[in-house]
Amino acid sequence: MQTEVKAFLRRHGLLAGFGLFLISVALSADAFLTPGNIFDVLRQVSITGVMAVGVTFVVITGRLDLSVGSLLTLLTVIVVDQHNTSGPAMAILITLAAGIGVGMFNGVLVGLVGLNALIVTLAMLSFLQGLVLFYSGGSNVNVQNAQTTWFAVFGRHDLLGVPVPALIFLVTAVIAAFVLNRTVFGRQVFAVGGNETASRFSGIASRWTVFWAYALSGLTTAIAAVIMGSRVMGAQNTIGQGYELTVLAGVILGGTSLLGGSGSIWRTVLGITMLGFIQNGLLLLGFPYYIQWLVTWAVIILAVWIDLGAKRGRILA
Amino acid sequence: MSATTSITKAGGHSSVTRLLMRNHIWVFLALTVVVFSASSPYFLTVNNLGNVLTQAAFIGILAIGMTMVMIDGEIDLSVGAILALASALAIGLQDHIGIWPAVFVGLLSGAALGFLNGTLVALSGMHSFIVTLGGLIGIRGLVFIYTGEDALMVSDFSYTDYPEIYLGPVSLTAMIFIALALFFQWVLSSTRHGRETYAIGDNIDAAHDAGINIKRHKIINFTLCGALAAVAGILLSMRLGTAEPNAGKVWELWTIIAVVLGGTRLQGGYGSMWMTIGGVLTLAVLRNGLRLLNTPNYVELMVMGTVLVLALLIDKLLSRQEA
């Protein structure tokens, strides 16, 4: 019995802690667990959530993608600007293509050439920020017919009472989970992250696996940019700044290891959603806004430490 | 000595080429200086070069600490936030407890947070990327809680006079940067802590088997890194006379870029302050030169990105040759 409880906590301790948090906030703030508030939180986390789904693939291969924040800015600027010049449908296509393109470029440098992922995507962060300023000329862009365009569907509308961005998040996550768990590519992603040399000896083209993981990360960032553009109906030159870190915080909180080889989509969804509910809950409890950052710090450290300690069998290294 | 020579000969390179290959960033730095000198009459003047040195000093001081941590095989993403907190404390407290006590508290906050980072890394065995990513978010939260959303201003303007102390064209800020860099180069090359830092980064298991106290050295380096970030923050607050809550945002990324550009490896075990000074100066010269040529801001960002990838490519090619 005791070992069963231990085993359960080891596997789902994060979930249990989160449940405890939800209940205690709900007891003190009536507005917390209402459908309206829950959907608001889901709407808020959908952008980082969709991005995190793609980044999870990269992290499971044992790499990082710090360029997604800048890429989100660039793609949001592109989708809004193209909406005015080429129409919504074309704008979305161009944005998706651009996202995949940048992802592939990262993939070439990290996967095929074999350069350090942290530095390459850091360089890309800077380069893309430059590209944003080049493209926009330094000014903000706005959707001209914001009231009438069907482009508003992605960020602002509800379907059957559920916010569309939350549905996009859900669908993206389900497809990604299928790809990761039920396809050859998904198994290869785990194999490469687990032991790259062994995966190569088993005949996996590990460089290309990494390449496609980055392409996926670019694709999900493009989907996030469509939601962002639709929700804001405009884009500033810094709109995605810092998103790479929030996304990574969510992925890590979910328990996907930075060393690669382990992780899952649903854990990332859980991590990102938890961050959203923690921030929302603290605000509803009346804490000052920036307290949530302190709590995020503590939660990341505790969650990862406990996870690591459980795997190792003792808390201290 | 003869052993070194024979190895050099076996490698097929003279010791000069070898030295240049190790410190290729200085070759690149010399090239950029030549190019900018030829293309802008304002570049190669004593005043401008003095300015470059001052501008380089802030990222430079962060980079010194980052180099120590990186040679250990770790990383510190929280330096930008620590810088902001130290700068806010140094300005915010000086009306209550006086300038120097406030500066001391600022320094202490940096050292304490660095110590916290190091202790968490050492005790938990977590990746320092995660620990300091958490720190980056949380410490920035502390800054905002302390300052609110507005910048703090100095009331006693004698505080802003200190960075205006010049020795010829070299500002006090730049002198502190150079002095710290030289001191920590000495620490790396001539002290037990320095040697063991390399040993840990190079092969942590071997270092452990050799009886090196890994946790202690890691905690020391993170503490140093935090304290140095606070030094940079205090110097910044002196220079600006204000402390903004967003000060130093994404500077951790520029710092990592500067250190890696210099040639210190993220994997640990390899690097030096000479390399880091080279990387820091190269970034500063690029930035300054491009501005003198009136290039728009976006070119600067794109050039930085490109240079970084090129540096990585060159490093890969060279290390393949050496091996």
Q: Is residue A189 part of a domain?
A: yes
DSSP secondary structure letters along B67-98: HHHHHTT---S-HHHHHHHHHHHHHHSHHHH-
Task: Note whether A127 contacts B120, CB cutoff 8 Å.
Answer: no
Nearest CA distance, B249 vs chain A (angstrom):
9
Collect the ranges in chain A with pLDDT lower than 50: none
Q: Is residue A236 part of a domain?
A: yes
Q: What was the pLDDT predicted at A138?
A: 83
**Taking residues B115-131, what's their average pLDDT?**
94
B127 vs A contacts (CB less than 8 Å): 258-259
Give the A:B interface size as CB pairs under 8 Å.
Answer: 143
Task: Note whether B253 contacts A125, CB cutoff 8 Å.
Answer: yes
For residues B86 and A279, give the distance between their C-alpha atoms in angstroms, rounded to a whole number: 26
Under the banding of pLDDT at 50, 70 and 90, the label for residue B13 is low
Of B135, B266, B313, the CB nearest to A118: B266
Q: Is residue A9 part of a domain?
A: no
Nearest CA distance, B229 vs chain A (angstrom):
19
Beta-ladder partners of B104: none
**Element of type H or E holding B300:** helix B297-322
Q: What was the pLDDT predicted at A245?
A: 86
Of A119, A289, A300, the CB nearest to B130: A300
* pLDDT tens digits for range B52-69: 999 999 999 999 999 999
For residues A101 and A112, give the distance between their C-alpha atoms in angstroms, rounded to a whole number: 15
Closest C-alpha among A311, A297, A273 to residue A50: A273
For residues B88 and B111, give the distance between their C-alpha atoms in angstroms, rounded to a whole number: 15
Answer for the pair A73, A237: CB distance below 8 angstroms, yes or no: yes
Of B141, B298, B304, the CB nearest to A293: B141
Provide the number of structural domains found in chain A.
Answer: 1
For residues B108 and B74, give the distance between their C-alpha atoms in angstroms, rounded to a whole number: 22
Structural domains in chain B, CATH included, are 26-35+42-322 (1.10.3470)
Closest C-alpha among A292, A293, A251 to residue A272: A251
Q: What was the pLDDT predicted at B4?
A: 41
Amino acid at the residue A218: G
For residues A30 and A16, give the distance between their C-alpha atoms in angstroms, rounded to a whole number: 21
Q: What was the pLDDT predicted at A10?
A: 67
A129 vs B contacts (CB less than 8 Å): 298, 301
Nearest CA distance, A161 vs chain B (angstrom):
34
φ, ψ dihedrals at B243, nearest 5°: -130, 110
Q: Is residue A10 part of a domain?
A: no
Q: What was the pLDDT predicted at B2?
A: 39
Answer for the pair A173, A273: CB distance below 8 angstroms, yes or no: no
> What are the C-alpha distances in Å from A143 to residues A228, B106, B240, B273, B276?
12, 46, 38, 50, 45
Average pLDDT over chain B, rounded to an integer = 90
φ, ψ dihedrals at A141, nearest 5°: -115, 150
Closest C-alpha among B223, B232, B226, B241 to residue B280: B232
Q: Is residue A120 part of a domain?
A: yes
Select the highest-mean-pLDDT range: B30-39, B179-188, B284-293.
B179-188
Nearest CA distance, A162 vs chain B (angstrom):
31
Closest C-alpha among A64, A265, A267, A260 to residue A181: A265
Answer for the pair B252, B70: CB distance below 8 angstroms, yes or no: no
* pLDDT tens digits for range B154-197: 988 889 988 888 888 899 999 999 999 999 999 999 999 999 99
**Taking residues B114-135, what's their average pLDDT?**
94
Task: Note whether B301 contacts A309, CB cutoff 8 Å.
Answer: no
Of B124, B135, B302, the CB nearest to A308: B124
Question: Among A48-52, B33-37, B236-240, B302-306, where is mean pLDDT lowest?
Answer: B302-306
Q: CA nearest B307 in A: which residue?
A: A123
Task: Note whether B305 contacts A119, CB cutoff 8 Å.
Answer: no
B134 vs A contacts (CB less than 8 Å): 249, 296-298, 300-301
Q: What was the pLDDT predicted at B12?
A: 52
- C-alpha of B248 from chain center: 13
Nearest CA distance, A64 vs chain B (angstrom):
11
Of B136, B138, B308, the CB nearest to A119: B308
pLDDT at residue B3 tops 50: no
Q: Is residue A6 part of a domain?
A: no
Q: What was the pLDDT predicted at A155?
A: 87
**pLDDT over 90 percentage in chain B:** 67
Query: Whole-model pTM?
Result: 0.89
Tell the residue number behind the tokens 């990324």, with chain if given. B253
Q: Which 258-297 residues of chain B touch chain A by CB within 8 A? A: 260, 266, 296-297
Domain that holds residue A292: 15-312
Nearest CA distance, A303 vs chain B (angstrom):
11
Q: What was the pLDDT predicted at A313?
A: 82
Answer for the pair A220, A51: CB distance below 8 angstroms, yes or no: yes
Q: Is residue A124 part of a domain?
A: yes
A53-A56-A57 Cα angle (round to 5)? 105
A308 vs B contacts (CB less than 8 Å): 124-126
Under the banding of pLDDT at 50, 70 and 90, the label for residue B244 is very high
Interface check for B313 against chain A (CB to CB < 8 A): the answer is: yes
Q: What was the pLDDT predicted at B322?
A: 57
Question: Among B112-126, B171-185, B237-251, where is mean pLDDT lowest?
Answer: B237-251
For residues A50 and B148, give the distance between their C-alpha atoms in angstroms, rounded to a whole number: 32
Q: What was the pLDDT predicted at B266?
A: 86
> What are the C-alpha distances in Å from A157 to residues A33, A43, A154, A166, A221?
21, 10, 7, 10, 20
Task: Note whether A130 contacts B134, CB cutoff 8 Å.
Answer: no
What number of residues does chain B have?
A: 323
For residues A254 and A246, give the distance between their C-alpha atoms in angstroms, rounded to a whole number: 12
